Structure 1
Amino acid sequence: MFRTEPGRRRGPVLALLAAASLVLTLGGCAADTVTPADARGEAKAADAARGSVDCAKVKCIALTFDAGPGKDTPRLLDILKEKNVKATFFLLGEKHVKRYPEVVKRIAGEGHEVANHTWSHRILTDLDASEVRDELSRTQDAIAKITGRKPTLMRPPQGRTDGTVSDVARELGLAQVLWSITAKDYSTEDSALIRQRVLDQAHGDGIILLHDIYGGTVPAVPGIIDELKRRGYTFVTVPQLLAPGKVEPGTVYRPEKPEQDD
């Protein structure tokens, strides 16, 4: 079992697999990654806060939404409440958090995880440290002003991260969360296709990437939830997926999709 702290050396085979997978999938992201299972495995149960679900024993999956809130987010929250599902929302500061403060308050109030997706969706690996800090800290402050709490998670736009981004994230108390399942809902409004793409890729310990700002996404969510529940999945937030592991600022978390999931 390798250590989860950023910058530590891990077993050579695991490190090469993680690095190769990330480069092939995301391009331009050079940071080492930690899987949910690794985070759980290294945690000390005696001093870590456990979520209400033990993902070491049940088949968990995390539903995440980027780039909102938007006009369809209240309907999404209605669906999640009806289905008794908690999700993780990576929010954009400019034109989103500022425009929909009541929706941000509702996301937090209904038990979902509120996270940071930068201020204006600039590609962080194209920026210097001060610019990365500005993109993240402005959204941290805007969310805290509404909810009373700064996020502990962030997702870099397009999943692009590097050492500078990791250093700034660590400074601001933010862990980085990538994904293993994407419907590419930015490219289609076909809700049936979005649903099928998610279902085709679903796996235990998976993190689903969707966007609550595109027209076809929210209508696809009920079918995604119903079918994955039928398959025996339990929906959790990202912190619950890692529990009893503690979120470590600066660390990049990304699930590895197995060749075959049972």
Structure 2
Amino acid sequence: MRPRPRSGATRAAAALLLAASVCPALQASAADACKGTIYLTFDTGSQSQAELIANTLRKHQVKATFFLANEKTVRGDWSLDPSWAAYWKARVAEGHAFGSHTFDHVYWKRDEAGGKIAVKPQFGAHAGKQATWTAQQYCDELRRVDSRFRELTGRGLDPLFRAPGGHTSRNVLAAAEQCGYRHVGWAKAGFSGDETASEVYPNAMLLKRALDNLKDGDIFMAHMGIWSRKDPWAPANLEPLIAGLQQKGFCFATLREHPDYASHFKK
């Protein structure tokens, strides 16, 4: 007696059973292949390396986190001007994460009484002038980036910030937490060195140091261009860094997936 042909429902059920048996194996294989995760982060700067960074991340299918301030660029404009809208929209579409770097790249100088903060903006109307801010003023500065980013891309920032220079204090952290922002630093091995003198810290040395010392969970920090470095870091080092870490079995993710920050993101 010939077997009866399977109905559409039977075939669909069989396909689901096959998928159920295969998918766990594929997932386990992917997990085994990833020996650790590195979190690449980029702060705005001169923006001389902006396109190279974007192209390299896209080529290697790597997601990163960008910390944005309104900084002067090599194009003669500012990194959060409307002229950069297309660039930032493209990074949003690619699935990267974004945090505040203070709008005017404001450096912390010292804590004052009553939760106040002595600051010194690098850019903007008060560039180079020291001022004393309340916690609310510091929050407003973080939120200025969010507002501008929404205007440029239609999307707000993630609830993260990085203080210029990585310099924070009790009052800075308390002020930022008050308006929902968590600070993100970087691992010791995650300091790219792109702000250092290339005569003293050549790119080959910086690349080897990173590849030798980065470990699972480390946050890596570089800039999207540094005015002062004679031999720029990114053209020589970014692609070899990513390729070298991938060869060692590392995967990459945004800070949305970092165990120290994931719970802070809004559902």
Encode CA deviations 1:178-237: one digit per residue, 9 max, x unaligned: 100102211145432332232233011100011111332243111001111111111111
Q: 1:92 aligns with which of 69, 85, 95?
A: 69
Give percent identity, aligned residues only.
Answer: 27
Q: Label 1:110 to 1:68 Cα distance change in 2 as closer, same or farther (>3 A).
A: farther
* Residue deviations 1:114-133 (CA, integer Å, cap 9, x gap): 11111122213533224422
Alignment counterpart, residue 149 of structure 1, candidates 155, 176, 186:
155
Contiguous gaps of at least 5 residues in structure 1? 1-52, 250-262
1:147 Cα deviation after fit: 2.3
Alpha carbons 1:59, 1:234 under 8 Å: kept: yes
Given candidates 203, 208, 229, the residue that maps to 1:191 is 203
Judge conservation of contact 1:93–1:119 (CA < 8 Å) in 2: yes
The whole-number CA distance in structure 2 between the counterparts of 1:242 and 1:62 is: 11
Residue 113 of structure 1 corresponds to: 97
Partner of 1:75: 52
In structure 2, C-alpha distance between the alignment counterparts of 1:185 and 1:165, rounded to whole Å:
25
User: 1:231, 1:58 → 2: CA distance?
Assistant: 8
Q: Which residue number in structure 2 is paired with residue 236 of structure 1? A: 253
What is the rounded CA distance, in whole Å, between the counterparts of 2:31 and 2:175 in structure 1?
31
Q: Map of 1:239-250 to 2, 5 A cutoff? A: 239-242=256-259, 245-247=262-264
Structure 2 runs not aligned, ≥5 long: 1-29, 72-77, 111-117, 120-132, 227-231
Query: What is the CA–CA distance in structure 1 between the aligned matches of 2:93 and 2:168, rounded to whole Å?
Result: 30
On the 8 A contact 1:174/1:248 being kept in 2, the answer is: no
The number of residue pairs the alignment matches comes to 196
Q: Deviations over 1:120-175 (max 9, x none)?
A: 22213533224422421211111121222322111111212223222322233211
- Secondary structure in 1 matching 2:79: helix
- Aligned to 1:60, which of 32, 37, 43? 37
Tell me which residue corresponds to 1:160.
167
**TM-score, normalised to structure 1's length?**
0.67
Q: CA 1:171–1:149 in 2, change beyond 3 Å: closer, same or farther?
A: farther
CA distance in 2: counterparts of 1:114 and 1:229, whole angstroms = 23
- Inter-CA distance 91–218: structure 2 relative to 1 (3 Å threshold): farther
Larger radius of gyration: 2
Change (3 A) 1:243 1:177: closer
Does the CA-based 8 Å contact 1:107-1:114 persist in structure 2? no
Separation in structure 2 between the aligned mates of residue 187 and residue 122 of structure 1, nearest angstrom: 20
- SS of residue matched to 1:246: helix
Asked if 1:139 corresponds to 2:145, the answer is yes
Q: Distance in 2 between matches of 1:54 and 1:91?
A: 32
Report if the CA contact (8 A) 2:191-2:221 is conserved: yes
Q: Answer whether contact 1:69 1:97 (CA < 8 A) is retained.
A: no
TM-fit CA distance, 1:62: 0.4
- Tell me whether 1:211 sits opposite 2:218 in the alignment: no
Distance 1:244 1:132, change over 3 A: closer
Do the aligned partners of residues 244 and 92 (structure 1) sit closer, same or farther apart at CA in structure 2, a change above 3 Å counting? closer
What RMSD, in angstroms, separates the aligned Cα atoms of the two structures?
2.6
